[in-house]
Chains A and B, each alone.
Chain A
Amino acid sequence: MHRSSEVKHVASYLNTRGCECFGQPCESHCPVLTDRTIHVQLKTFIKIRVKPDRTGVVTDGVKHSMNPFCEIAVEEAIKLKEKKLVKEVVAVSCGPQQVQETIRTALAMGADRGIHVEVSGKDYETLGPLQVSKIFAALAKKEQADLIILGKQAIDDDCNQTGQMIAALLDWPQGTFASEMTLEADKMKVVREVDGGLETIKIKLPAVVTADLRLNTPRYATLPNIMKAKKKKIANVKPADLGVDVCSRLEVLKVDEPPQRQAGVKVETVDDLVGKLKEAGRV
């Protein structure tokens, strides 16, 4: 969750999103690493209330679940493994104890092992794309990963920065907003959904890819896989072990709810409309 000085943007997001877990709030940061490897960032979304002291949002007792774009990323990783194009899928999450649940969900979908990068308390509240991407870059080097797949953005802060930052830190090529990815020899062909349409690029591995909505439809974990997930390992790591400083360079000044939507006004004629717009100083 990354809070920036763009308070209005964050706040207006907060109220338009609901939660998909039958009304239960949820939150987590959860990137995924793999060994020949797929890195997926998992994040989730929150039914949010602004804290009374306006320093942020209420996170107490918030249930964690996976960011939808990250689910798509995990699914793609597992698909690559099923096609025998990758050897191992590792799911990674940065956050407090609760993120282990999210990692287990990724394991139940088919990831081989998990890594929990423990960040809690104040550090977690200020954790943002820059710190997460540094953690990833360090892990990628340590695990000798070949491919990192993340969700294109987290739906709690909509930053859309982590994937790009990881690529920059590692000096790896990136294929963002992927709606299709195909491994061709040592290159990844990525079809990107951009404003103008679809762009196809070929990037050399190791690389970073961020998943967009139409990349695939994530599978439901099967019961046997849920059972197998129990036996898969989740390693515990601290940012300090990776040589990463999670201190934030940003200070949140305040967090507000968006202004209440005002009732509209009906007008009879175009002249009336122009008149009203002039009155409101819009024209």
Chain B
Amino acid sequence: IYAYFVPLGLHNRAAQLIEFLILAELPELHQMMRQTCRDYAQKELAPIAAQLDKDHKFPAKQVKELGAMGVMAVEVPESLGGAGMDYLAYCLAVEELSRGCASTGVIVSVNNSLYLGPILKFGTEEQKKQWITPFTTGERVGCFALSEPGNGSDAGAASTLAQQEGDEWVLSGTKAWITNCWDASATVVFATTDKSLKHKGISAFLVPMPHPGLSLGKKEDKLGIRASSTANIILEDCRIPLGNMLGERGMGFNIAMQTLDSGRLGIAAQALGIAQAALDCSADYAHKRTAFGAPIGKLQAIQFKLADMALAIESARLLTWRAAMLRDAKKPFTKEAAMAKLAASEAATFVSHQAIQVLGGMGYVTDMPAERHYRDARITEIYEGTSEIQRLVIANNILKEYQQ
């Protein structure tokens, strides 16, 4: 296949992707990577996931091991300590890890897409060395502080202030729903440098944690993904050097939106992992549970459910892969990313809901993982862009395509 496409002037990577589209099989590198993550998730994450969820415990040991494998910084170039792979590989990694433990999946995703992502794209060389390299090994994780108690979807209405005082920025305000914050060593914070400019007045800042003037609210007691910490970040007279601004003044909103475009693929991957785990659970049960004299897998009602579940997952997966490949090819991918996140998160909630149904009473108790998948899936429709926002993004893109 490569020999065929080389005369067309396509380089090796494009040839691989074309091979994928023709043979519908991932390139060998990605298959190996996927298998490694799958093995790790099955052996190291799945056995402890239920306990991590019960204890609301951050999987520090596993995060370090994942860091050693390169999974905490998949897209970061090797020169900065990362694995130097592409976004498709990252999505595969997050999916396989989430299949074992959804909380670990989101910890990996937030570090990769929401923390390392914007610094990689908008940071200076100095900032990259300082804020990226220590966060590639799993020893430290980062977080992303955009949402506030007063605005989630309405990101442009940020009220956290950043005022310049001499050679320092002084940040004040509160950020809400920040994943990883209790375990993080740094954060990307969005604050407004000029409220009158509305969303064009928002800038991005890098703040180490802990830091004077930065305090954390109480850990939220969540429905799902309980092993990852979520809390408010309170900034009161928090002073950082001028060099801690990420990108240009007023670029903050842009940085946030671009970061979320990629981040939502990570969440799509997480949702796929949760959905797949729920399907694994249901299909296994369908073989083992007997009713009316035969395994329930023989009953059409169950078969139709399994078929719909598998279809939802596979469609969302292909959307996710396509969006990731577009991003890797440096083509516009906003619409596809929104579609992927929407499809995957709705697949996760649908599949985990049906999984409980297939398991019946057993689905409702903690003995089986179905109830945890149900709880974990729900957040995927909310964070990094609610399903409603995804629909708006898709619609805007469609209307632009059909512009009169």
Q: Measuring CB to CB, which residues of chain A are less than 8 angstroms from any residue of chain B?
A: 20, 22, 101, 104-105, 108, 220-224, 226-227, 229-230
Contacts and interface: CB of A to CB of B under 8 A. Distances in A.
A227 B36 contact: no
Contact of A221 (B36, B42, B85, B89): B36
A104 B36 contact: no
Dominant secondary structure of chain A at its interface with chain B:
helix
B14 interface: no
Interface in B322-359: none
A221 B34 CA distance: 11
Can you list the 8 inter-chain pairs with the closest CB atoms, starting with the nearest?
Answer: A223-B70, A223-B83, A222-B69, A222-B70, A221-B36, A226-B32, A220-B40, A226-B33
Dominant secondary structure of chain B at its interface with chain A:
helix
Contacts of B126: none
Interface in B267-282: 280
Contact of A224 (B28, B40, B70): B70
Contact of A227 (B38, B68, B84): B84
Nearest to B40: A220
B28 A104 contact: yes
A223 B83 CA distance: 6
B74 interface: yes
B69 A230 contact: no
Interface residues of B, number: 23
A222 B35 CA distance: 12
A224 B68 CA distance: 10
Interface of B: 28-29, 32-33, 35-36, 38-40, 42, 65, 68-71, 74, 78, 83-85, 89, 93, 280
Contacts of B71: 223
A108 B84 CA distance: 15
A220 to B, nearest CB: 5
B70 A230 contact: no
Contacts of B40: 220
A229 B29 CA distance: 9
A104 B31 CA distance: 11
B154 to A, nearest CB: 38
A132 B7 CA distance: 42
Contact of B29 (A22, A220, A230): A230
Contacts of B42: 20, 22
Contacts of B65: 220
Given A105-B35, A223-B70, A223-B74, 20 more contacts: A20-B42, A22-B280, A101-B28, A104-B32, A220-B36, A220-B39, A220-B69, A222-B68, A222-B69, A222-B70, A222-B83, A223-B36, A223-B85, A223-B89, A224-B84, A226-B32, A226-B36, A227-B29, A227-B83, A227-B84
Contacts of B89: 223
12 contacts: A20-B42, A22-B42, A104-B28, A104-B32, A222-B69, A223-B85, A223-B93, A224-B70, A224-B78, A226-B32, A230-B28, A230-B29
Contacts of B93: 223
B39 A223 contact: no
Given A224-B83, A227-B85, A105 B32 contact: yes
